[in-house]
Chain A
Amino acid sequence: MSNAPAEALPTEEVDLSYANKVIDKYLTLPGNLMPVLQGIQDEYGFVPKPAIDLVAERLNVYPSQIYGVLTFYAQFHLKPRGRFIIRVCVGTACHVQGAERIVETFFEKLGIGHAETSPDLRYTFEKVACLGACGMAPLAMVNDDTFGKMTVQKVGEIITEYNQRPLK
């Protein structure tokens, strides 16, 4: 279960035309709430509050039900996320190979904890339960790039590398 807190949400303007398009696509599909929310998250990187209101209205469901779904599943986010999403696998194989140490080193070097985003929106850090590539444990991912056989030293190298990347 996600432990994303439902605290103050950013209120900036959101262009809802993308959200509308996603809703159009799934409007007639039974059980469309999840695919709609997944589609919206794909577009915006998180699920913005105005989009939730829009979904509630157009799919005719209570906002509370939508929040229920959003907070139940680990993959939904109610706040903007970093440019680089760092995921460290803490599945069994990775745990046995020392994943905890990798996680702690990231915490220390980035100054953020699990499910947190750095104030400059460069990084979001997440522990995840199994990325399904246990043969290369311990495993870290930055966006879609996988780093197998992680060590504490590699953590430093990864951060140095991504610190140099432009923030879009």
Chain B
Amino acid sequence: MGAQAEIKILICQGTGGISAGARKVESEFRKVLDEKGIQAVVGKRCDVINTGCRGLCANDVLVDIVDPELGRVTYDFVQPEEVAQIIDEHIVKRSPIEKRKAKPYYNTFVDSQMRIVMSGCGQIDPESLQAYLEEDGFKAIEKCVKEMKPADVIDEVKKSGLRGRGGGGFPTGMKWSFCAASQGKQKYLICNADEGDPGAFMDRSVLEGDPYCIIEGMMIAAYAIGCTKGYVYVRAEYPLAIDRLQKALDVCYQKNYLGHNIQGWGFDFDLIIKKGAGAFVCGEETALMASIEGERGMPRPRPPFPAVKGLWAKPTNINNVETFANVRHIINKGADWYGSLGTDTTKGTKIFAVTGKVKHTGLVEVPAGMTVRSVIYDVCGGIANNRKFKAVQAGGPSGGCIPSEVLDTPVDYDSLIKAGAMMGSGGLVVMDETTCMVDVARFFLTFTRDESCGKCVPCRIGLKVMLDILERITEGRGQAGDIETLLEMGSTIKKASLCGLGQTAPNPILSTIRYFRHEYEAHINDKRCPSNCCKELLLWQVVEDKCVKCGACFKACPSDAIVWEKGQIAYLDKEKCTKCKSCYDACRFMAIE
């Protein structure tokens, strides 16, 4: 019998998987396999492997059983109680349990993607160096140091067309060449894993699911730039990512994949983790460096650019997690291969975090240039609860809303900006007819106002004033001229702010006014919220001719404020109602307003 496992049981243990109970499922698998002495029973080795997230956390716990003869079978929503049955029927009797298998949409979800950056996530044990080596791990850095000069590496990355995935989309090879050209013996390399953008979690998944690929990407960059010291700045809200990355770093030091004279290649590189402490603005590169230095994370004007004067006043290069994760594939498979993927101006793939009112929320990696429509409908199954699509918010607090008219926008840097949104870090929040666009704008502004570091006046005061106006509008106290004021202030703040936070903070407002001006007008002129979302403007009643008497509202109400009996139209008792909106969300027929 070979040392290789013949049957692999892959259990999803990203943050999503673990919170759905993956650890219990894992220990149940181990226990039952042990009790049965499974190897003797089936004559095969049978390994339980904990993997990172495979992108569909909403269906966790996901378990794949990979058997050389039966192929790969995925079970979703696995509970510990079901483990014994799965082992018995699938592994012992060798007949997969048809009705427990993940439904066909799971395969659609997986097959309609192109996984390069996330190729290891959900497939390999993120804590095993061996598993990474089997996936050609550290082959790319070996190729770099043995066969390529630093300048060749930079050329290759330039040729590939890779652009930074942290939001701005700056060409990575070019950025590296600036830092490489800087004078100075000590240079620094930073991986930006702050991921402050609410609604995006791809960096976390890559760190949790394939930490070695980040390490290798950084090694390649360090070699190219001529730098020996690196930091990974991870937000502290990501304890599992920090833990897995730290383990990987420890192993790399033990096995001399980090440290002095790595693998005898004559190349040194040290890498440590710095934990963030909960400030969105620290994702901005100059603020991030101040934070590493132990200061308040406040942006400073550029120039001098980090490539010239960065961390500890030394030349510094900073890239996003996903950017680094692309690098080894470019070296292994070549710039031409990479350049053949995606569109003219955006090469390769992009990971999107698709959330909100969509059927299958999750992380999807698709070639750049796929349309937004295709991502939402083909990959993620369309809108949940049979509701109507209204808009998708792309790019987080810096981005904007894309309405249905422009759903065929391809996902690449330039097309998204033309549509009034932004790639940002790749959050796509899907909104249906129950989402109020004024409220969404108010939400993002609340966020950016809270997170503004306060250094510049337009950002500190301007955002506050805009927020006050939006709050007034959502409370039914909007005035004529409010929209014009918002537009004017928005463009001023964009021009006058020091860092990207202020420069982009008005985008959510500007884009919602651009496409949904009528919703603003309804709030201001008619004191009405067309999506029945803004509390103060809700009537709190059941529309009798829309009600189909299903009782969903009755079950959802925690305050017994809904009167309903089978076959009866529901009635809402305003006295008892606490305005929690549970009934509104539960009603699929828009019968409550």
In the complex, what distance in Å separates the CA atom of A28 from the CA atom of B198? Answer: 35
Whether B582 pairs with A73 at a CB distance below 8 angstroms is no
A158 on the B face (CB < 8 A) = no
Expressed in whole angstroms, the minimum distance between the Cβ of B57 and any Cβ of chain A is 4
Residue of A nearest to B585 (CB): A98
How far is A131 from B201 in the complex, measured between Cα atoms in Å?
Answer: 9
B19's nearest neighbour on chain A, judged by CB, is A146
Given contacts A93-B199, A156-B558, contact A75 B429 (CB under 8 A): no
Q: Is B280 engaged at the interface, CB distance under 8 Å to the other chain?
A: yes
Instruction: Check A44 for interface membership: any CB of B closer than 8 A.
Output: no
Which chain A residue has the least Cβ–Cβ distance from B202?
A132
Question: C-beta contact mask, A153-165 vs B, less than 8 Å → 1, else 0?
Answer: 1001000000000
Q: Are B580 and A104 in contact (CB under 8 A)?
A: yes
- B238: A residues at CB distance < 8 A: 132
Across the interface, do B277 and A132 meet the contact criterion of CB distance under 8 Å?
no
> Is B291's beta carbon under 8 Å from chain A?
yes
Residues of the B chain whose Cβ atoms lie less than 8 Å from the Cβ of A69: 294-296
Chain B window 350-364, contacts with chain A (Cβ cutoff 8 Å), 1 for yes, 0 for no: 000101110001110
Most A CB contacts (10 A, CB to CB) among B20, B429, B440, B585 go to B429
Q: How far is the CB of B290 from chain A (nearest CB, A)?
A: 10
A66-106 toward B: CB 8 Å interface, digit per residue (1/0)? 00110011111000000000000011110111100100110
Closest to B236 in A: A75
A137-B558 contact given A92-B199, A93-B199, A151-B582, CB 8 Å threshold: no
Q: Is A34's CB under 8 angstroms from B580's CB? A: no
Given known A75-B236, A132-B237, A136-B16, contact A151–B450 (CB-CB < 8 A)? no
The answer, among A34, A105, A135, A151, for a CB contact under 8 Å with B16, is A135
Inter-subunit contact A72/B280 (CB<8 Å)? no
Size class of the contact patch on chain A: 35 or more
With A93-B429, A135-B58 already in contact, the answer to whether A31 and B280 are too (CB < 8 A) is: no
User: What chain B residues lie within 8 Å of A98 (beta carbons)?
Assistant: 581, 585
Quick one: which of A31, A133, A135, A152 contacts B558, CB cutoff 8 A? Answer: A152
Q: Are A92 and B396 in contact (CB under 8 A)?
A: yes
Q: Mark A131-143, 1 if CB is under 8 A from B, else 0.
A: 1111111000000
Partner of B58 from the list A73, A101, A105, A136 (CB cut-off 8 Å) is A136
Is B292 on the interface with A (CB-CB < 8 A)?
yes
- Point out the residues of chain A lying under 8 angstroms from B195, CB to CB: 132
- Residues from chain A with Cβ under 8 Å of B295 in the complex: 33, 69
**A74 proximity list for chain B (CB < 8 A):** 277-279
**Chain A residues whose CB sits within 8 angstroms of the CB of B122 once the complex forms:** none
Contact at A93–B356, with CB atoms within 8 Å? Answer: yes
Which residue in B16, B443, B454, B580 is a CB contact (below 8 Å) of A133?
B16
Question: Which of B361, B450, B582 makes the CB contact (< 8 A) with A134?
Answer: B361
The answer to whether A131 and B237 have CB atoms under 8 Å apart is yes
In the complex the two chains form, is B236's CB within 8 Å of A38's CB? yes
Q: Per-position contact with A for B1-42: 1 when CB-CB < 8 Å, else 0?
A: 000000000000001101110000000000000000000000
**Chain A 101-141 interface residues, beta-carbon cutoff 8 Å to B:** 101, 104-105, 108, 128-137
How long is the Cα–Cα vector from A34 to B291 in the complex, in angstroms? 8
- Contact between A32 and B435, CB atoms less than 8 A apart: no
- The contact of A73 among B278, B427, B430, B454, by CB within 8 Å, is B278
Q: A73-B278, A93-B199, A101-B582 are in contact. List 9 more A-B contacts (CB 8 A).
A: A1-B452, A1-B454, A33-B294, A34-B277, A73-B276, A129-B447, A133-B15, A146-B15, A153-B556
Interface residues of B (CB under 8 A from A): 15-16, 18-20, 56-58, 195-201, 204, 236-238, 274-280, 291-297, 312, 353, 355-357, 361-363, 393, 396, 427, 429-431, 435, 440, 443-444, 447, 450-454, 556, 558, 578, 580-582, 585
User: Ordered nearest first, which 5 A-B pairs have the shortest CB separation?
Assistant: A91-B198, A146-B19, A74-B278, A93-B355, A33-B294
